């Protein structure tokens, strides 16, 4: 997979999915040198990812990794697929390596019009937003040397700025 050919947003962003929504607690990361997913680690906590989890190719977040994206879909997506999404907000987080914001996104209308009425993260239920924040607050709890600080949710304009400053 040649990630250098994948372009992005900030209004429409192409995301490579690493982890399916509600998948088993295995953390995958894309190995750029090999061009495939690699098992990074097994989560020590008994938790599953609340959304599809992936990254925006050719970006670099504050922690040195590509920008993370949580993709809401009606069905879990397979790992290694590419999906076009539009950002609707971001969860501000920091880990032991630095700033590690999580962009929240939904499929573009041509992929799935189900989310067309969702314009901003605040259009989602508080329960879903709390579930996502809770996951990222606790998924590293039992891992030595790993920390996460979860901040606030920010809107679409801030999410676009995060994408733009990441180098894409």
Q: What is the residue extent of each domain of the chain?
A: 3-165
Is residue 54 within 8 A of residue 65, CB to CB? The reply is no
CATH superfamily of the domain spanning 3-165: Inorganic pyrophosphatase (3.90.80.10)
Angle at alpha carbon of residue 12, lines to 58 and 135, rounded to 5°: 75
Question: Does 11 have pLDDT greater than 80?
Answer: no
Which tens digit of pLDDT belongs to each residue from 30-52? 888 888 889 998 988 888 999 99
108-127 average pLDDT score: 97
In which residue are the tokens 């990074």 written? 40
Contact partners, residue 155, CB within 8 Å, separation at least 6:
89, 120, 121, 122
Helices (H) and strands (E) in the chain, counts: 2, 9
Question: Does 69 have pLDDT greater than 70?
Answer: yes
Q: For residue 156, what pLDDT is reported?
A: 96
pLDDT band at 163 (very low <50, low <70, confident <90, very high): very high
Question: Does 4 have pLDDT greater than 80?
Answer: no
């Amino acid at each position: 997979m040649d990630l250098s050919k994948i372009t992005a947003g900030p209004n429409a962003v192409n995301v490579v999915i690493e982890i399916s929504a509600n998948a088993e607690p295995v953390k995958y990361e894309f190995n750029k040198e090999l061009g495939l997913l690699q098992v990074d680690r097994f989560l020590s906590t008994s938790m599953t990812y609340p959304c599809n989890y992936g990254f925006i190719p050719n970006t670099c977040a504050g922690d040195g990794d590509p920008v993370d994206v949580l993709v809401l879909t009606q069905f879990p997506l397979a790992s290694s697929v590419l999906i076009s999404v539009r950002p609707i907000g971001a969860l501000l987080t920091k880990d032991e390596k630095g700033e590690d914001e999580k962009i929240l996104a939904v499929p573009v209308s041509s992929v799935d019009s189900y989310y067309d009425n969702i314009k901003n993260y605040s259009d989602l239920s508080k329960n879903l937003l709390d579930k996502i924040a809770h996951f990222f607050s606790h998924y590293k709890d039992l891992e030595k040397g790993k920390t996460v600080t979860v901040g606030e949710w920010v809107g679409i304009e801030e999410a676009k700025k995060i994408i733009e400053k990441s180098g894409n």
